[in-house]
Structure 1
Amino acid sequence: MVLERDDDVRTDHRGAVRDPHDAGTSAPTAGGALHWAPLHHPGHTGRFAAITAEIAADPPDAFVVDVSVEVTLLVRLLGVPVVVMTQPGARDDDPHRLAWRIADAVVAPWPAGRYDPLGRDLHEVGGISRFDGRPRAGAPVPGRVLVLGGGAADEGTGTDDPDGVPGAGSTTWHHLGGHAPWAEDPWPAICAAEVVVSAAGQNAVADLAAAGARAIVVAQDRPFDEQRATAEALGRAGLAVVVPAWPSRDEWPGLLQRARALDPDWSRWRVAGAAARAADVIAAVAARATPAAVPTPASGGAA
C-alpha cells in the first residue's frame, strides 16, 4: 500500500487551498503536542484513513512504526500493540516521550551504549543492514573513492576527474545515488572502494559496517540532530573519519590520508544478527496478542 503525501499543497473538499506548512492555518504540531498533523489536509486524512481501514479489515498482532509519533498514537488508540523503530539524537521532546511511553517496545538500530538512552527502555539490536552476512565482493582498489549520494554527498566533488581534488594524486572518484546513477546493488562498489564517503544515516552506516569499509562520514542536518549523534559516536569509537559538513577542496587530501590509515573494528556496530534480534522483539510483542488457551474442563460425571 502506498500512502498519500501529507506535506504538499492540496485543495480540500470545499475548494480551499491547504498548505500544511502554514502554521497559522494548519497548526501541524497541535501546539507542540505532535510533530506533524496538519489540519484540513486531504492527504493527511487519507493516510490515516487507509491505516485505520487496513487494521479494521485485518487486525494485526503487532504493528511496526518507523519513527512516526502520530502513527504510533493512532495504532495504539485502535487497540493494536505497537513496536516503534527509533533513531538517535535529542528525542526527549514531549511527542517522542508520549510515543515511547505507549509503545509496547522501542527498537534502536545501533549497538548498546552508543547513545544516551535518556532513561528509555530500548532494545538496542545493532545496525541493521541488508548486506549482513554477505561475503565481500573482492578487495578494495587502491586510490578508489566512492561517494554515496542521496544526502550531503550530493554536494560532491563536482567531477570524476582523478585530478579533481588538489593533492589527491592517483585517486579516482566514483559516485552512486543522488545526482549520479543509482544502483540496485551497491555492494560491489562499496567493497571495491578504498575509501567510502557517506552521510551518517542509520542504513548507510550499517552498510559501511557490513563491508568493513574505511569511510569519511559527513553528518547531515536532520531533525533532532540524528546524524550528528551518529557521527559523534563513530568518531569516538574510531570507526570512521567524521566531518560536520562537506569538506573544502583543500581538506580532501588530509581526510583521505586519515581514512586510509584507519583499521576500524566494525564488529562493534553489531550488524551481524541485528535484523534477527529486531524480529525477535517484534515477535515477542505479537505473541502477547494471543492469550494462552483456557483449558477445557475434563468430561465425565459429577463426583
Structure 2
Amino acid sequence: MSGAIGYYVHHHGQGHRQRAMAIAAHAPNRFTLIGTGLADLPEPFRRIDLADDRLTKDNTFEGFDGGAERPDALHYAPIAHDGVRARNLAMVEWIAREKPAAIVVDVSVETAMLARLCATPTIYVRLAGHRNDPAHLDAFRGARALLSPFHADLDDPEMADWILAKTRYAPGLTGPGAAPRPCDRVVLVVVGAGGSVIDGERLAAAARSTPDLRWRVIGSVKPAPVVPDNLKMLGWVSDADREIAQAGVVIGAAGDGVLGAVAAAARPFVCLPEPRPYGEQVAKGRRLRALDAAVVLDKWPEAADWPEVLERARRLDRQRIYALHDSQGTEKAAAFLLEVAGR
C-alpha cells in the first residue's frame, strides 16, 4: 500500500465537505477528496469528482433508492443507474492505481463496502443518531476506527460498548472561533444546505416581534413578500464562522458544522433540530438540552414568544457549550487519521 489516504465526501449538505477540507488541509499531500461536486475545490486539495448518483433531476437526496431487493448491508443501491456505475468504477480505478493506506468514509456504507472489497482499510465517520441498523453496524465492524465529529458528551448514552471502543471523538472541526466582538443586538439565523423548515414569513414575523434587535440570516431561505427593516437576508456567505462569532444569539439546527462553530465562539444558541435520517439532529438536541448548553425547541416558536426565547438563551452559561469545542480539533483529527492509516 502507498501513503495515500482517500477521503470520501457525501454530497448532502455542506458539513461533510467542510470537515474534509479542514482535516485534509493539515496534510494535503496525503489526502485525496473523493465525491460528487468537488470540481471547484481550491488548491492544494487533490480531488476526484465523481458522477452523481442521485435519482432526482433537482439534485435533492433523500437517501432512498426504492429497491425492494436491496441487501440489508446496503442503504442506497439503485438499479440501472449510470451515475452509480461510473462513480464506483472511478473509485475502484483510483484504489487499484494508488493502493491507498486507507479510505475515510464520510459517509456511505456502500463506499465502505466497496473499499473493503478492494482490499482497502476504512475509517468510518460515525454521526449521531440511532444507527443500529444492519448496514451501519456492518460498516462499523469493518472499519479500523470510527471518527465522530462531535464531543463525547453529545453521544448516545446507550451506545454499544464495542462501538464506543472504536470511536475517536473529534469536536472542533470548524473554523477558528475567536474573532470580532459580539453585538448583543444581533440575532443570527443560520440555515444549512441540508434542508430547513425556516422560511421568510416566519423570520419576518420574528423580527417584527423584536423591533429593537437586528436579525441577520445566512443561507438559502424563501423570502417573505414584505421584509421588515430589522431583517437582513445575506444568502450564502464565505465567512459564516465570523458571522456566528459576532452574533448576540445564534439560531440554527443541530448539524455538526453549525453546532461546532457556535461552540467555538461560545455564543448563546437556540437550537431547532431538523428532521434527518436516523434522528441525528434530534439526538444531539436531546443531549444539548440535558447539558443545559442551548435552548432546544421542538418547533419554530410563535412570533410573540421570541423575546422570551432569546432572553432564555442569553441567560445560558456559555461555558457549557464552549466545553463541547476543541480548539485543536482539526489537527488532532488529521493526526489520528494519519496514525490509523499508518498501522
TM-score tier by shorter-chain length is 0.7 to 0.9
Letter in 1 for 2:102: A
Q: Aligned in 2, Cα 1:33/1:190: closer, same or farther, shift over 3 Å?
A: same
Whether 1:4 and 2:51 are equivalent positions in the alignment is yes
Q: Aligned in 2, Cα 1:46/1:228: closer, same or farther, shift over 3 Å?
A: same
* Selected match of 1:155 from 183, 199, 208: 199
Between the aligned partners of 1:70 and 1:217, the Cα distance in structure 2 is 31
- Preserved contact between residue 179 and residue 246 of structure 2 (Cα < 8 Å): no
- Preserved contact between residue 245 and residue 262 of structure 2 (Cα < 8 Å): no
Between the aligned partners of 2:119 and 2:276, the Cα distance in structure 1 is 32
SS at match of 1:135: coil
Equivalent residue for 2:101? 61
Alignment of 1:23-172 (within 5 A): 23=66, 26-27=67-68, 30-116=70-156, 117-119=159-161, 120=163, 121-132=165-176, 134-138=177-181, 140-150=182-192, 151-152=195-196, 154-156=198-200, 158-159=202-203, 164-166=207-209, 168-172=210-214
SS at match of 2:154: coil
Between the aligned partners of 1:159 and 1:198, the Cα distance in structure 2 is 12
Equivalent residue for 1:231? 285
Equivalent residue for 1:267? 322
Q: Aligned in 2, Cα 1:227/1:172: closer, same or farther, shift over 3 Å?
A: same
Between the aligned partners of 2:175 and 2:65, the Cα distance in structure 1 is 41
SS at match of 1:154: coil
Could you tell which deviates more after superposition, 35-44 or 247-256? 247-256
Deviation at 1:114?
2.8
Alignment gaps of 5+ in structure 2: 1-47, 58-62, 222-232
**How does the TM-score come out when normalised to structure 2?**
0.73
Q: Aligned in 2, Cα 1:240/1:112: closer, same or farther, shift over 3 Å?
A: same
Between the aligned partners of 1:100 and 1:218, the Cα distance in structure 2 is 29
Letter in 2 for 1:177: G
Deviations 1:31-57 (A, max 9, x none): 433110111111111111111111111
Between the aligned partners of 1:248 and 1:49, the Cα distance in structure 2 is 51
- Preserved contact between residue 107 and residue 125 of structure 1 (Cα < 8 Å): yes
> May I ask how many residue pairs the two structures share in their alignment?
272
Could you tell which deviates more after superposition, 197-206 or 146-155? 146-155
| Higher Rg of the two aligned structures | 1
Letter in 2 for 1:131: G
Root-mean-square deviation over aligned CA pairs: 2.2
